[in-house]
């Protein structure tokens, strides 16, 4: 009987990780471009696991940097929303996750012109159907000014949840985008509550067994 009491807590600990499978959770990602290279040129088309595409199949997103060249006094390098780097484009560009779907949660954006310039930008969302064909599921139009504005998409706008691609229409001035937030599939496993409960029961059982053993051991 004592032997059985010893195995019960041990078996609880062993089977805790098998009886209820762990679940994969989604991971939120902030894309702030601070670690991107190739300033002043098209951004790496596979940056952060996305495809930074354009109207002609190549990236039309240019990596900008707040830092002015030595001796420069012009206004060609507007500030980033955070840090010193951002991307900008004059439209017809796309953002696609290289593997799987994603939620497009939001971004900060402004017009590149540092005057009272405003423009409307339409953002389109696409999902692939059973034949792997991209189908537009909806769009929304945002009003962009010369000051940074935060725009929220998913989950407020469900059409931007679980999508394959977003595109931006052409517009009258370069659009600056910074601090994009997306939710992507994450393979990190999170233990289910039942597994944690079984593990706790096993640990308590093992602790109780050791305590009984100490009480039964005669003092020397």
pLDDT at 31 over 80: yes
- In this predicted structure, what is the pLDDT of residue 212? 61
Q: Give the range among 42-56, 84-98, 144-158, 184-198 with minimum mean pLDDT.
A: 184-198
Decide if 94 contacts 54 (C-beta within 8 A): yes
Higher pLDDT, 118 or 60: 118
pLDDT at 119 over 70: yes
Q: What superfamily in CATH does domain 23-190 come from?
A: Protein of unknown function DUF4465 (2.60.120.1350)
Q: Which helix (H) or strand (E) holds 198?
A: helix 193-216
Q: Which residues contact 120 (CB under 8 A, 6 or more apart)?
A: 141, 142, 143, 144, 171
Task: Kindly list the domain boundaries of the chain, sorted by start residue.
Answer: 2-21+192-216, 23-190
Mean pLDDT of the chain: 75
d(CA 175, CA 106): 15
Decide if 203 contacts 151 (C-beta within 8 A): no
Rounded average pLDDT over 143-160: 94
Percent of the chain topping pLDDT 90: 33
Q: Give the range among 3-7, 115-119, 127-131 with minimum mean pLDDT.
A: 3-7
- In this predicted structure, what is the pLDDT of residue 152? 97
- In this predicted structure, what is the pLDDT of residue 23? 44
- In this predicted structure, what is the pLDDT of residue 92? 65
Rounded average pLDDT over 172-191: 74
Rounded average pLDDT over 26-45: 88
For residue 6, give the 3-state DSSP assignment. Answer: helix
For residue 100, give the 3-state DSSP assignment. Answer: coil
Rounded average pLDDT over 19-33: 67
pTM: 0.69
d(CA 61, CA 96): 13
Beta bridge partners of 165: 96, 126
Local confidence band at 85 (pLDDT 50, 70, 90 cut-offs): very high
């Amino acid at each position: 009987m004592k032997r059985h009491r010893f195995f019960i807590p041990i078996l609880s600990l062993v089977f805790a990780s098998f009886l209820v499978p762990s679940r994969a959770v989604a991971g939120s990602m902030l894309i702030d471009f601070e670690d991107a290279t190739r300033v002043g040129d098209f951004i790496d088309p596979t940056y952060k696991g996305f495809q930074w595409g354009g109207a002609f199949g190549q990236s039309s997103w240019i990596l900008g940097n707040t830092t002015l060249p030595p001796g420069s006094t012009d206004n060609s390098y507007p500030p980033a929303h955070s840090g010193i780097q951002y991307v900008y484009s004059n439209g017809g560009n796309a953002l696609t996750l290289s593997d799987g779907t994603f939620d497009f949660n939001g971004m900060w954006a402004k017009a590149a012109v540092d005057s009272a310039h405003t423009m409307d930008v339409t953002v389109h969302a696409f999902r692939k159907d059973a034949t792997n064909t991209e189908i537009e599921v909806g769009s929304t139009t945002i009003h962009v000014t010369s000051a940074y504005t935060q725009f929220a998409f998913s989950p407020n706008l469900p059409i931007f949840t679980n999508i394959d691609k977003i595109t931006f229409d052409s517009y009258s001035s370069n659009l600056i985008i910074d601090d994009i937030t997306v939710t992507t599939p994450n393979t990190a496993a999170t233990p289910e509550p039942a597994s944690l409960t079984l593990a706790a029961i096993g640990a308590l059982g093992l602790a109780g067994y050791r305590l009984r053993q100490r009480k039964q051991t005669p003092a020397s």
